[in-house]
Chains A and B, each alone.
Chain A
Amino acid sequence: TVVTQEPSLTVSPGGTVTLTCASSTGSVTGGHHPNWFQQKPGQAPRALIYSTSNKESWTPARFSGFLLGDKAALTLSGVQPEDEAEYFCLLYCGDDFWVFGGGTKLTVL
């Protein structure tokens, strides 16, 4: 299974951006339990979303996860400069096996 994300996106401060996560095996569904992570340079990843849309206790309200067509999606609304980071999705592919996407570098400009 190959999980594909946009390599890079740019958004203006205060704007809205949607990142997507696709699977080579077909549509991403709730059964893939999409997880989303944020990673800033030199830091460990930080969990944001699990099972499509559930937020961690520390996840800002401006982040939301959902299914968009045949993909998983993460929307940032009212983007802040500190949201500049790389974002990774993680899909459950059955038999207790997970696959990360290649990551999206988000630039806030």
Chain B
Amino acid sequence: EVQLVESGGDLVQPGRSLRLSCAASGFTFSDYWMTWVRQSPGKGLEWVANIRPDGSGTYYVDSVKGRFTISRDNAKNSLYLQLNSLRAEDTAVYYCARGGNAFDEAQYWGQGTLVTVS
């Protein structure tokens, strides 16, 4: 069974940093694209970033470029999102998601971790 468990969410002050983690199990982690998606309270979903299976390519939404870094450790079956220079508008539940077949961008989802910037 595919499982994705996010952690690391917290209440932080503007300008500070935070690192989110996503522990994956139930599949061969190194075979799949991984994605971070966020959802501000009461709002819609926002695609944040994704990363190739071997970590050789990373891609970001413009609003986080230069502040957030997605990475992965295939030996540890883990995905990460480093959040720097946090702003109030970064307040959201952050979900990690696993890709599926080609262009199946977010087939499986974790339950999310809440980041509050205040």
Contacts and interface: CB of A to CB of B under 8 A. Distances in A.
A97 B95 contact: no
A101 B43 CA distance: 11
Interface in B74-109: 95, 100-109
A33 B108 CA distance: 17
Interface stretch (B8-16, B19-27, B44-52): B44-52
B45 A50 contact: no
Given A50-B101, A97-B61, A45 B109 contact: yes
Contacts of B57: 96
A44 B104 contact: no
Interface string A19-49: 0000000000000010101010000111100
Contacts of B106: 35, 37, 45, 47, 90
Nearest to B57: A96
A51 B50 CA distance: 17
Consensus secondary structure, chain B interface:
loop
Contacts of B47: 90, 97-100
A37 B57 CA distance: 25
Given A47-B100, A100-B37, 13 more contacts: A35-B103, A35-B104, A35-B106, A44-B109, A44-B110, A44-B111, A45-B45, A45-B109, A47-B108, A50-B100, A51-B101, A54-B104, A90-B45
Interface of B: 37, 44-47, 50, 57, 59, 61, 95, 100-112
17 contacts: A39-B45, A44-B109, A45-B37, A45-B95, A47-B100, A47-B104, A47-B106, A47-B109, A50-B101, A50-B105, A51-B103, A56-B107, A96-B50, A98-B105, A99-B47, A100-B45, A101-B44
